A and B are shown apart, each in its own frame.
Chain A
Amino acid sequence: MAIAGDKNTLFASGQADTLRLIVYLTAAVALMVTDHHSHYLDRARAALGGLATPLYRVAQAPVEASRWLWAAASERVELRRENDALRSELLLARARLNAARIETEQNLRLRELLETGRRYRLSGRMVEVFQVDLDPSRQRVLLDGGTAAGVRVGQPVIDAWGLVGQVISTSGSTASIMLLTDPDHAVPVRNARTGQRAVAYGTGRDDRIVLPTLPMNSDLQVGDELLTSGLGGRFPAGFPVAVVREVGVDENGIFARVVAEPLARLRLSSELLLLEEVAVQESEERWPREGHGPPRLVPATAATGEQP
């Protein structure tokens, strides 16, 4: 190749360039196909993800600086007003939390009576979102925290208003979230008013998800709230997802065409809540597994060995 370059003739160089073009484009297409259809490159992405983190930090610096400037420059009066607003909001939230606690207790007692369902408690963890622009045509968000911080693939993510999405890939220090508006995303939902179940799919647009599998005669009204149904086991039940905005009939006249707007502020949140299920260690393990009757006395070593 060096020899061809030295000759420096007009046509030879053009041909060599075309050859290179073909080689590079083929390589790029091969990479894209591999990335799209298999998971070989995920490992490379996870390994190299650490290299990208400092760039993310630098790129989001202007946002942080502008926030700091705003706080420094805003008037005392304004800050006080904001403080008052936040305080009353906190009060309301506390009151609601107390009410919820009572209901949770009742719920637990009822579940114990029924002896159904998994025994778990939900716990959440705040994670920061990198304020950087990724491709706006893709419904992805980048988290400042990865496997080192205990983020796992498949964890549901919420904000204060509703479901945001789920973690789809992690590297050492970053994790990527697929928003529920991504065309590849589906979440099982339940109509809060009627209890009817459906699956909500993303559309690729920030402000709408669709429910394509509902029969035409479903009882759905504009303004109905959709909650996670908990089916499938990925998302815990009862989190708000979206509000129904349009109800129509698809062109075949068989299915309803339902469009809903996500409640979470998908692109505006700078902090999100990662949900994890913590198994409740209860007397369940000691319950006699085989047969019935009074619980037998088990040697201490065997009992600890049985517990995960």
Chain B
Amino acid sequence: MRMPGAGTWLLLAVLAAYLLTLLPLPGPLVHAKPFWLGLLVIWLALEQPSRGVLGLAFLIGLGADLLIGTWFGEHAFRLVVIAFIVRRFRARLRFFPLWQQTAAVAALLVNDRIVIAMLRSFAGEVGIGLAYWLPAVTGTLLWPLLLVLADDLRRRVRGRA
């Protein structure tokens, strides 16, 4: 066992997503920051045949809540919802052509924005402008690129092993 196992790669991917989430963006770009963790969970739920994806999404979400300082459970809720929907339609999503898959991801990310708005409205904070939907747009635009990148990385890793 010289090569790091799947668990190590997963851990690295989660850490990378956390870092990207925390990475400060200049000026108005802050509002366009994509939901990196959501994209990661979509990818995991698509790729991993195992059934622990929901639990994994929950744990990743709790970690994010700790890092970002949101209420414990907020990110966990969002990510579990995403993971569940992807798993429900996994068989179809996996064999969609890229543009259809991207459209599905767009729907998931928009749904995620609605979920946060719902969670926040319980606490009495509401303020939804046009900028509110920007993360879903940037996330959708990034999805095809990330998918190609992830596939490429995996091929290289396998090629070495």
The CA-CA distance from A17 to B23 in the complex, in Å, is: 34
Count, chain B residues at interface, CB 8 A: 40
Smallest CB-CB separation from A14: which chain B residue?
B88
| A36-B71, A135-B70 known; A55 vs B88 contact (CB < 8 Å) | no
User: Which B residues, 1 to 41, have Cβ-Cβ distances below 8 Å to chain A?
Assistant: 15, 18-19, 21-25, 30-31, 33
A124: interface (CB < 8 Å): no
Chain B residues closer than 8 Å to A132, beta-carbon distance: 22-24
- Which 9 pairs across A and B sit closest by C-beta, in order of nearness? A31-B73, A59-B22, A28-B77, A28-B73, A32-B73, A35-B71, A132-B22, A31-B72, A28-B76
Chain A residues closer than 8 Å to B127, beta-carbon distance: 137, 204-205
The 0/1 profile, CB within 8 Å of A marked 1, for residues 122-159 of chain B is 01110100000000000000000000000000000000
B residues with a Cβ closer than 8 A to A are 15, 18-19, 21-25, 30-31, 33, 51, 54-55, 57-58, 61-62, 66-74, 76-77, 80-81, 84, 87-88, 119-120, 123-125, 127
| A55-B22, A56-B22, A133-B24 known; A32 vs B119 contact (CB < 8 Å) | yes
Smallest CB-CB separation from B23: which chain A residue?
A59
Q: Is the interface of A mostly helix, strand, loop or mixed?
A: helix
The CA-CA distance from A41 to B66 in the complex, in Å, is: 10
The CA-CA distance from A14 to B22 in the complex, in Å, is: 35
The CA-CA distance from A31 to B62 in the complex, in Å, is: 10
A residues with a Cβ closer than 8 A to B are 5, 13-14, 16-17, 20-21, 24-25, 27-32, 34-36, 41, 44-45, 48-49, 51-52, 55-56, 58-60, 62-63, 131-138, 140, 142, 176, 183, 204-205
